[in-house]
Structure 1
Amino acid sequence: MILSHYPGSIVGSDRFLAPTDFPDSPLSQALQQPILLGLFLPIQAGGWSASTLPRTTDWSFEYNKDLVLKTEALGFDLIFALSQWLPKGGYGGVFNGQALDSFVTTAALTSVTQKIMLISTIHILYGPIHPLHLAKYGATLDHISGGRWGINVVTGHRAVEHEMFGWNRIEHDHRYELAAEFIEVLQRLWGDNENFSFEGKSSWKLNGAYPSFVTLGRGKVEIRVNQGYKN
């Protein structure tokens, strides 16, 4: 789902405005083209090849920053960073042995890029992540990037990943019920203008939470959310 608003513009509105409601938004500009081009960042060791053969791909931030700058210069529209939590990597650790954090990496890349959109992947069911935290982090990063940031929300499917955080793997359908609840609260935190409280099936609650607004002096604020639970 795509969300966007000018601060204070949605008071009394029955829906959240999208970036495509504003012709000068980064997404609207990109959609004027017949196709969107993106790059999956190799922020994990081994890139996308499960092999011990020599390769030039590197998981380091400097390598990925160089890739993104070249990608932006070539006119690509977006970069996408995955997120995974795994034990010791396979093939002697050369595959998935090391990995950068998706959110932190894309946050750092906003300061060295100008036009390209940056998509973070975030597991919302691993550990005590709270939508109020993510709403504030996201609104801040969206402000810093000038409306170029978005998130890919995932629930995780590998039992080993859930277990790393001391949890048992959550049943498939229930994972997506919790994801829907999480994103619905994010929508309110990014799009409402009053304090509100919430209690549902999730372990977290809200009591008098205030929405995360930011004031972007040069234009509008955009929040893009890919609701993976609809796939």
Structure 2
Amino acid sequence: MEYTVDELRQYYASMPQEFGFASMCKMTLPQNVEGMRAIDIGCRRGKGVLKFASRIGSGGFVLGIEPNDAFVREAVDRIREAEAESDKPLAPTEIRQGFFEMLGLSPEEEHTFDLVYANSSLNLCKNMPEAVRQMALAARPGATLLLETVLAAGERDVAVLGAARKMGNAVQSAPSKDEFLGWLSDAGFIDVQRTVVQKLTPDAAYKQDTKVPCVDSVECVEFEETIVTARVPR
């Protein structure tokens, strides 16, 4: 299914943005990222982009993609301030408005990124299989995919998942792990590794003492904060 830019912009603009699990920015990065080209999809206010830029250094490049235009402006301002105040070289960075389903990369930028990253805001996208395909489109041969997200341990009730997504609940909108791993395989990712960090309740937020609205449901499924890594064949 294809979408227009206006449809995607309206979809993401209507979604609650604050305090949910998608607001969390842990970014457990690989040890050796110096000099890499990295793309942070769903970068929100640019905190993760700055972490990348600090670790990657002046020999690399970081592109942040964010659906929310207000967050794009905030991210640009944050990075300008950090560049002015930093006492060490940061990687060149760029923030653009784009969408999980439509990154907006030029033909010259496709298949050029060494590291493709997204957090649990991925679960709020309109079309998850297309979002995964877009990640593969960004990745060069041999690249690493790193996702800090939430997956469901069992099959999902589609109605509950859809309603949770509209509420901006990145936990209760999690796809099943089996379905998600299938999408990765279909997009060409290999060597997929999955590490469960912790179990989550459907109303979990970015702080342990905070709760977010969730769909009232009899669905019986466990949610798991999960780190997923994968690779693109060389």
TM-score normalised per structure 2:
0.34
Which of 1 and 2 has greater Rg?
1
